[in-house]
Amino acid sequence: MSSVHFRRNLIHQCQIQRPAYTRSSDGEVIATFADVNPTLRCRYVQKQENIAEEGQGFMMKLVDSLLVEDDADVLEDDRVTDIVWNADPSSVVDLGPFTIEQRLGRNSTKAHHISLRLERIE
């Protein structure tokens, strides 16, 4: 799939936020988040995976992922919020916020996207 074809599959937009660390008066490190860019084209995917539980067999777990173009400015310390549809930005898919649990690049000559495994912040 070419990069142009892949972009057609990016049916969502999301907000990427990057932490800035400061110290409070008592020395505690505090993270505040600021928007990296106005919106990032992406594709939000939720799927169920079988997770092996020791002594209990398999358990189904809902896994959240985000697909973005390979040159997207996204780091593992960032968080994802405000996932909406491209066609109707007022139509919310998921507000999040999510941390990026894992950043998975693609190892091929036709690598055109990055998969981000997300974890919901409770």
- For 59-98, what is each residue's pLDDT tens digit? 778 889 999 988 888 988 999 999 999 989 889 999 999 9
pTM for this entry? 0.79
State pLDDT tens for residues 7-65: 888 999 999 999 998 898 898 998 889 998 778 999 999 988 877 777 777 777 888 99
How confident is the model at residue 76, as a pLDDT? 87
Of the listed ranges 6-10, 49-53, 107-111, 118-122, the least confidently predicted one is: 107-111
Cα separation of 69 and 8, whole Å? 11
- Does the pLDDT at position 2 exceed 60? no
Nearest to 70, CA basis, from 98, 32, 108 = 108
Would you place residue 111 in the very low, low, confident or very high pLDDT band (cuts 50, 70, 90)?
A: low
Q: Is the pLDDT of residue 100 over 90?
A: yes
Please, how many CA atoms are within 13 Å of residue 121, restricted to the half-sphere of its CB? Answer: 10
CATH top class, domain 3-120: mainly beta
**Residue 68, pLDDT score:** 92
Q: How many helices (H) and strands (E) does the chain have?
A: 1, 8
Q: Which of 1, 17, 22 is nearest to 73 (CA)?
A: 17
Taken in order 17, 41, 97, 47, the sign of the CA dihedral is negative
